């Protein structure tokens, strides 16, 4: 009888990814009946002395492990953006982003893309918010004891939170 009166739990898991060749941040946020929980957050750091192909393989393999362990429902990724004064940075970020998309495709996961400005606006109300403002809002939104140590992890959390907010507005 107790089982019948229990509200059925519906869980949705978003893997947010902030792609980068040197540092790729990721965060898995679980939403269960309206409650948000940061289940995992981390940084995939590659060695700049290694060949590009080895660095990309490392990002891919580490993301595959995360996806296998946490079984996300969807992947939210930051769109490619860079200052036009540094086109080489855009190319390198594009390589890293590509292996993130490949890992998601390998698991048959839908990928949703968000621009950095859209993520910042969703979280802070300002599309030009500073990294510090994003980190502070991540801490407040998820009721964390402290801000994430890495800006890349904070960005990955913010990307996942942006997707969850977008879903609520669509309903």
In a domain, 111, yes or no: yes
In a domain, 1, yes or no: no
Structural domains counted in the chain: 1
Structural domain including 37 reads 10-170
Phi-psi map region of 150: left, alpha, beta (phi>0 left; psi -120 to 50 alpha)? beta
* 35: nearest Cα among 17, 13, 16, 18: 13
CATH for 79:
3.30.420.10
- Position 88 scores a pLDDT of 83
In a domain, 4, yes or no: no
Q: How far is it, in rounded angstroms, from Cα 13 to Cα 108?
A: 14
- Position 167 scores a pLDDT of 87
What's the DSSP call for residue 125?
S
- Position 86 scores a pLDDT of 76
- Position 5 scores a pLDDT of 41
- Position 23 scores a pLDDT of 97
In a domain, 33, yes or no: yes
In a domain, 166, yes or no: yes
- Position 56 scores a pLDDT of 98
- Position 2 scores a pLDDT of 42
- From the number of C-beta atoms within 10 Å of its C-beta (0-12, 13-18, 19+), residue 151 rates as middle
pLDDT, one tens digit for every residue, the chain (171 residues):
444 444 455 689 999 999 999 999 999 999 988 899 999 999 999 999 999 999 999 999 999 999 999 999 999 999 987 666 778 888 888 999 999 999 999 999 999 999 999 999 999 999 999 999 999 999 999 999 999 999 999 999 999 999 999 987 776
- Position 89 scores a pLDDT of 82
Q: How far is it, in rounded angstroms, from Cα 160 to Cα 28?
A: 7
SS3 sequence of 41-106: EEEEECCCCCCHHHHHHHHHHHHHHHHHHHCCCEEEEECCCCCCCCHHHHHHHHHHHHHHHHHHHH
């Amino acid at each position: 009888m107790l089982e019948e009166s229990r509200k059925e739990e519906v869980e949705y898991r978003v893997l947010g990814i902030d792609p980068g060749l040197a540092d790729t941040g990721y965060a898995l946020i679980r939403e269960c009946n309206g409650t948000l929980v940061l289940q995992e957050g981390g940084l995939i750091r590659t060695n700049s002395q290694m060949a590009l192909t080895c660095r990309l393989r490392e990002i891919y393999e580490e993301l595959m492990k995360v996806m296998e362990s946490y079984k996300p429902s969807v992947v939210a990724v930051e769109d490619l953006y860079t200052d036009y004064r540094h086109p080489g940075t855009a190319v390198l970020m594009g390589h890293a982003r590509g292996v993130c998309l490949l890992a998601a495709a390998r698991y048959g996961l839908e990928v949703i893309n968000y621009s950095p400005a859209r993520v910042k606006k969703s979280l802070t109300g300002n599309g030009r918010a500073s990294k510090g403002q994003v980190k502070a809002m991540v801490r407040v939104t998820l009721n964390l004891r402290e801000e994430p140590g890495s800006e890349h992890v904070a960005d990955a959390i913010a990307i996942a939170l942006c997707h969850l907010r977008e879903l609520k507005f669509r309903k």
